[in-house]
Each structure stands twice: as structure tokens, then as C-alpha cells.
A and B are shown apart, each in its own frame.
Chain A
Amino acid sequence: MAAAGANISKPGSGIYAGSGVALMLPSWLIIGLFLLIPVLLMLVYSFLTKEFRGGVIWEFSLDAYDQFFFYRGLFGDEPPVLEWTYIGIFWRSIWQAGAATIFCLIIGFPTAWFIATRSGANKSVWLFLITIPYWVNLLIRTISMKFLIRDTGPLNEWLMWIGVISEPIHMINTNFAVQLGLFYSYLPFMVLPIYASVERYNFALSEAAADLYASRWETLRLIILPAVKPGVIAGCILVFVPSLGAFLAPDLLGGAKTFMIGSLIEEQFKGNAGNWPFGAAASMILLSMVLVALGYYARQQNREA
């Protein structure tokens, strides 16, 4: 493109932009020390041999990946067949995380819209209310949720008291409970980026659309959604990725039937029963899946721009 006559001055290109290297240095240091090095460690561990009481033996091995994908019989001497257990756990995790993302989006979008369209002082109050639960530790919140929804918990008792149900609804250890936990844990990560997008949205665009005969639905679909799309996508990523690796909600609220990747990995590093290389391998598989998805999204974005 770059046709002649386009009068665009890029903000941030002047002398006030500063030197890129110096500005990036602190974050590169932190990312390097606390992200890249641990990830590399995991990568290395995933190719080592397991020590039976936790830890690793420094000897190259593909056992961890082999165990993830293939079953070789009880004694490991049969011909390999595809192992579905872990792939199944991954699939269930993706499904759970996807569902949680959709629920967060359905509730989070109108919430963010509502907050962003309040007047100045009210806006801060609503944002504050959204963040209040996050002042309490996630573990404590998840345990509270467990107490709230168990068979003899306040929710069931209240429902029976007002006469909606005669017997407690069994909620704990179901997919519903996991969804509730994930939704409750990650809703603000959906609300806040969408809020930021809506706040920047120029409402004159909605007026212009209505002026040009667009219905409310068409305005939402054709004008508002494209404008707030970056916030929606950021919110979806921020909910989906941690939901995928979550272990608190599935562990405490879900039980054995709703076992997810996060719990699988956590177990490998806990106590004496663990298998570090296997946990590391599962982590690497999860990480590469997320990276592939994000890379695909980034490429789509570049193509559109």
C-alpha cells in the first residue's frame, strides 16, 4: 500500500519514544529469568529418566512422551497402541476451558458494556466491585464455593426452604461445579479487557450506524463488535489459557470424573508418587498447543491488518 498522499503521523515515533532497548530491558530480564529459564528446564526434564521417589535421573529418555501417547501393556513389552487416557484428559480440558470462556464472554460482555457506559465516578465503583473477590486467595474462594454448593450447603438449603426443590441438587463433583469454579475464577479477566475496549469505543459510530438505517442488532454486529474485537479476543485468551491449565477448581469442585490437565500435571510433582519427566512432558504438550493456537491467531490478525 503506502500510496502517496496519506497523511499519517505515527504517534510514538518522535524523540519522546525513547530508546527501545533500554525500555525493554527490565521486562526482558524478568521474562528471561522467571519464564524462559523455567520453561527450558521443563523442556530438559521432559527428556530425562524418572526417579521413582520424585526427581530425575540425568539420562536422556523419550519415555515420558511415549507414556503420554502409547500403551505398551502392563509390563511394557507389548506392541504399542494409542493411549487415550491422557488425550482424553486433554480433550476434556479443552472442552471445559472452551465452555468456561463462552460463559465468561456471555456474562462478561454485557457487564463490561454496562460498566464502561456509566458516568465517571460510578465506573470506578463498579470496577472496584468486580475486583473485590480477587483480594481473597483463589484457594479460599474455591473452597468457599465448594461449601456453598454442596448437598447440605446454603444454596441447596435455601432452594429447599423457598420450596423450589424438595431434595438437594447434587452439584459438587459435576461438570457444572467445575464450570462454576472456572467462571468465578476468571470472569474479571474477561470483563476488564472488554471494558478497556468499550471505554475507547466512539459512541458516535453507533449513532452513525443508526443514522444510516442499521438496526440495533446490525449496529452491534457490524460496528461495535469489530471495534471491541481486540478486547474480546484478549479476554478469551486470558480466560481460556489459565482455564486449560487450572487445577484448583477441577480438583476441589470436580473430583475424579472431571480430571483436567492441570491436575494431571500437578499430581506428577506432588509427593512421592510423582513422575517428573512425565509431568514436564505433559506441560510441554500443553504449552505447545497454546502456542500453536496463539500463533495461528496472531497470523490471522496480521493478515487482516
Chain B
Amino acid sequence: MVSDQHVNDVAIDIRSVSKLFGDFVALDNVSVGILDNEFFTLLGPSGCGKTTLLRTIAGFEDVSSGEIVLYGENIAGLPPNQRPVNTVFQQYALFPHMNVTQNVKFGLLRQGVDEATATRRVNEVLDLVQLTPFATRLPSQMSGGQQQRVALARALAPNPKVLLLDEPLSALDLKLRQAVRLELQQLQSDTGITFVFVTHDQEEALTMSDRIAVINNGQLQQVGSAEEIYEAPKNKFVANFIGETNLIDVNVTSVSDGKASCSLPGGMAFSCSAADGAITGDGHLSIRPERVTLVSPAKGILRGTVTRQIYLGTDMHVDVQLEDKGLVKVRVQNSSSMRIPPVGDEVGLNLEADAARLLVD
């Protein structure tokens, strides 16, 4: 028999979903499977379609085409009040005339839960988000962080199959944001509810998520764990959007089995990993600044001149202008005893071969 454990079951299967607003394509044939019990993040710049995708799951937007399958049932045509998912809104959208308890109880009562059970559940959830002492406060009598927790408690109270979070941390200040990140992660693993989290903040995405979907211009760019997205970006957009990277123009001579051989500016041959779909000819190599090392001019596979140094505390940022063309950013840890060459010095650069990656343009 099938076991009760559904650990890698698909919670939400988004199948070829497109969404048009007039002529504007907000979502362009997006397909992705969000797994059960997963902290899944939709990441992209503002206007990329990530919030639209979340809203189609919640039911606030119809899909123009495609299916949204929640645990085997296509919910794409259902109104929001018939979908077993709950949302934490960006500005919380707490009911201003109701106190904390009434806000949290709202969904339970609408579901027809009896008063006693609802009260018990409200107490449980308020305890979970540590708001018990604030049960009779109005939203306007609470700080942003507290309101955020009310929103969380309200969405969790009906025990949704999936919790949707629309940039819930963006209204908080930095210190609080970092604390809430950890709390959210903890909450997700404690409750076992699938979280779909929308953010434009790559640091948030990298630190919290089991998997990340990077979206741009309504199209899914790449889906993977934080490490996969950072270490093995698929294309220029992902490489640029997640963290800092150097894009080096190369001429690709061969691609096979995820490996590529190419020639660097200046003519040196170099082999590195290649993203699926990379082709021969003119291409771009991505390498993170911390994976570039400064060496003496003779030892480097690239050569250039130091044009700028920025002191960043733990790190030192160095810009190197290549002899041929292009600029390479290098990040050197300050703890190293190595002397950092001053502006104007000629230096050589080495690229860590396993960290360099040929991209799909």
C-alpha cells in the first residue's frame, strides 16, 4: 500500500500557465511543480510576474490558459473562497475594525467551524506566533512586526494545504526582517505546510528556501536549490540577478556532456562546465568575484590593470580592467595575508575552473 508519507509528492502542479493583461504577457507558459512540505520561493525583479503567479494560485486572478493542480485537483477555475490555500498579504490586509482574535478567527468561522473549536484553534495559532498577550488589540494598536504575525496567524488558522506569502517581509525594517526570516523558516518546518514565498530580495530567497524559481518577463528562468541557482546559473539573467558575477566574453569551441572548451580574451584556452543548452560560438562565461584570484601577471590566464579598490570590511573589492576588453570584479578576503596590489598595478587573474560556467545567452 501507499504509505502515509507524501514527502516528495507534488503539492501544486502549475501546468503551462499563461496570463495576459490586454496585450501584456504577465505569465508566459509557466510550468513548475511545487513539492509537498517545501519552502518554495518565487524570485524575480518587480513586474516579472511572480506576484501574478501567486495570485493565480490564490484565485485572485484567472489564468488565461493552463492548469493549476492542487494535490491532484485542478483549481484554476475556482473562486478564492473555495481554494484550500491561504495568503499572507504584502501590506497584511488585516481587517481594521476587528481585533487580533476576530481577525484570526475570521477564516475558521467562514468555514463553518463551531465557536468553541475556533476559539481553541485561535489560541493555538496565537501561541505559535507569540501574540497571546495581544489578543484583544486592534491592528492599528500594533507595530509592523506584530501586524505581520497577525497576518501569519490569520492565514495559518484554517490549516491551509498551502500558505502563500506575498513579499511579507518587505514592510519590515532590516533587523526585524532578518529575525522574521528565521521564524518563518522554523514555522514552515514545524507546521509542515507548503510555503510559496514571493520576493524580489535574492538574499531572502537564498537563505530561506528549499527551492527557488527565478522568473523574468513572465518566463521561468531556472528552478533549483539556492546552491544550484548560485553555483550553476543557467543563463545571463539568473547569473546577474542572483549575487554578483563576472560575465566574460569567450569563443566556445566545443560543448559536450556539460563541459565546454573555449578561448578567453587574450587567447588562452580554458575548459569549464556548461549549462544545458549552451552552444558553440560567441558565448559568456560566468564566474563569481570570490572565485577569481589575483596572481602575478605572468601566472594569470587573464591579464589586466587594477582600476579601483573598495574596502568592504570583511572583504576587499578590486576592479581589474582586462587588456583586451571587459572588466573583472574580484573579491578578496581581508583575512588573507596576501598583499592587494594598488590601483594602476598590472595583475594576472586565475579563474577556478569548477566555478566558471558557460551560460545560455
- B91 on interface, CB distance cutoff 8 Å: yes
Residues on A with beta carbons closer than 8 Å to the beta carbon of B97: 226-227
In the bound complex, CA of A219 to CA of B111 (Å): 13
- A223 on interface, CB distance cutoff 8 Å: yes
Q: Is the CB of A212 within 8 A of B96?
A: no
- B45 on interface, CB distance cutoff 8 Å: no
Which of A6, A205, A212, A213 contacts B142, CB < 8 Å?
A6
Q: Is the CB of A207 within 8 A of B80?
A: yes
Which residues 24-61 of B sit at the A interface, judged by CB distance below 8 A?
A: 58-60
- B18 on interface, CB distance cutoff 8 Å: no
Say yes or no: A212-B154 contact (C-beta < 8 A), given A204-B91, A227-B96: yes
Q: List the count of A-B residue pairs having beta carbons below 8 Å apart.
A: 73
Q: Is the CB of A213 within 8 A of B158?
A: yes
- B216 on interface, CB distance cutoff 8 Å: no
A-B contact pairs, 18 of them (CB 8 A): A6-B141, A7-B143, A208-B154, A209-B95, A210-B59, A211-B59, A211-B85, A211-B86, A211-B87, A211-B107, A212-B106, A212-B110, A213-B81, A214-B106, A215-B110, A218-B110, A227-B96, A227-B97
Q: Bin chain B's interface residue count.
A: 20 to 34
- B182 on interface, CB distance cutoff 8 Å: no
Say yes or no: A211-B58 contact (C-beta < 8 A), given A202-B93, A226-B97: yes
Residues on B with beta carbons closer than 8 Å to the beta carbon of A218: 110
- B241 on interface, CB distance cutoff 8 Å: no
- B89 on interface, CB distance cutoff 8 Å: yes
In the bound complex, CA of A27 to CA of B143 (Å): 37
In the bound complex, CA of A244 to CA of B158 (Å): 49
Interface string of A206-240 (1 = CB under 8 A from B): 01111111110010001100110000000000000
- B293 on interface, CB distance cutoff 8 Å: no
Which residues 54-102 of B sit at the A interface, judged by CB distance below 8 A?
A: 58-60, 79-82, 85-87, 89, 91, 93-97
Which of B59, B85, B110, B141 contacts A214, CB < 8 Å?
B110
Q: Give the nearest-CB partner of B60 in chain A.
A: A207
Taking the closest CB of chain A, its distance from the CB of B60, in whole angstroms, is: 5
Q: Is the CB of B110 within 8 A of A205?
A: no
- A8 on interface, CB distance cutoff 8 Å: yes
In the bound complex, CA of A3 to CA of B138 (Å): 12
In the bound complex, CA of A3 to CA of B97 (Å): 18
Q: Give the nearest-CB partner of A226 in chain B.
A: B97
5 closest Cβ contacts across the A-B interface?
A212-B107, A204-B93, A213-B110, A208-B93, A210-B80
